[in-house]
Amino acid sequence: MTPSYHVVTLFPGMFAALTEYGVSGRAVKNGLVRLKCWDPRDFTSDNYRTVDDRPFGGGPGMVMLVEPLDLALTAVKTELRRLGVLQPRMVHLSPQGRVLDHALVEELAGEPALVLLAGRYEGIDERLFERHRLEEISIGDYVLSGGELPAMVLLDALIRHVPGALGHADSAAEDSFADGLLDCPHYTRPEDYLGLKVPGVLRSGDHAAVRRWRLKASLRRTLARRPQLLGQRTLSREERDLLDEIRSETDPGRPGSM
């Protein structure tokens, strides 16, 4: 089944950044994914198409009204039922949610459909969580003006996992975090740029040596930038040996160093 992604947003035009450009744009145009935006203003009943109001109890800012969002989410679920998706996962993009990581992307990539709610203002009426069993996902511990950018981040990450979306079948598998490590450095022409040269092993034609160099470079980068990742996976014997080499090179006084 073609993955079906639905976004409830006050600014559907923002999602042209996904549907018109790059990997995600090609995937949408080639019919590999469906992406549809739903504007809550289309589900209002007053002449002003009101979607927000002052919070009960006072305080700054406005809160998104429950009814337009409820009707929009219900309409999305009705459409998905016609496609055979009876219980789609419903996600509210929020800094209060589970932080997005590679494991969560892989989990969500297996879903036939997702419904994303991109909130605005001070937030959404709490009763929407009860009505639609919304789960919350965050892209980091900071606050943005709305959920559109987080929704686009999530969608871009998901679309990369759709078969055929990337030009090379192994591209997603070789991304940073795909195997629990940061990606290795990459080089292309020219071989020498202002005295900065491409490592000779990458020009050697020795595929085994290239693979080992890339693995070692990936381990070195992970150890330097995100060492906690190394404790979250089971290292192979080769990886342990390469890490010993890296540490010996960094600390010549370590046992086994030259």
- Shortest CA distance to 91 belongs to which of 109, 65, 115? 115
Spatial separation of the C-alpha atoms in residues 34 and 95, rounded to whole Å = 26
| Model pLDDT, residue 172 | 60
- Model pLDDT for residues 59-74, shown as the tens digit of each residue: 999 999 999 999 999 9
Structure confidence at residue 167 (pLDDT) = 75
At 184-240, the pLDDT tens digits run 999 999 999 999 999 999 999 999 999 999 999 999 999 999 999 999 989 999 999
Check the CA dihedral 67-70-71-72 and report its sign.
Answer: positive
What is the distance, to the nearest Å, from the Cα of residue 155 to the centroid of all Cα atoms in its chain?
A: 6
Which helix (H) or strand (E) covers residue 95, if one does? strand 89-99
Of 98-112, 141-155, 178-192, give the lowest mean pLDDT range: 178-192
Average pLDDT in the 172-195 region?
84
pLDDT tier, 258 (very low <50, low <70, confident <90, very high otherwise): very low
Tell me the domains of the chain and their CATH numbers.
Answer: 4-159 (3.40.1280.10), 192-250 (1.10.1270.20)
pLDDT at residue 141, rounded to an integer? 95
Find the mean pLDDT for residues 79-101. 97
pTM for the complete prediction? 0.89
pLDDT at 171: 61
pLDDT score, position 257 = 42
**Is the pLDDT assigned to residue 34 strictly greater than 80?**
yes
Q: Compute how many other C-beta atoms are within 10 angstroms of the C-beta atom of residue 238.
A: 12
Residue 237 has what pLDDT?
97
Quick one: tokens of 171? 């591209």
Residue 173 in this model has a pLDDT that exceeds 60: no
In angstroms, rounded to a whole number, what is the distance separating the alpha carbons of residues 219 and 179?
11
Structural element, H or E, at residue 63: strand 63-64
Cα 207 to Cα 39, 68, 132, 199: the distances in Å are: 52, 58, 52, 14
Residue 88 has pLDDT above 50, yes or no: yes
Name the residues annotated as catalytic. 95, 122, 160, 175
Q: What is the mean pLDDT of the chain?
A: 94
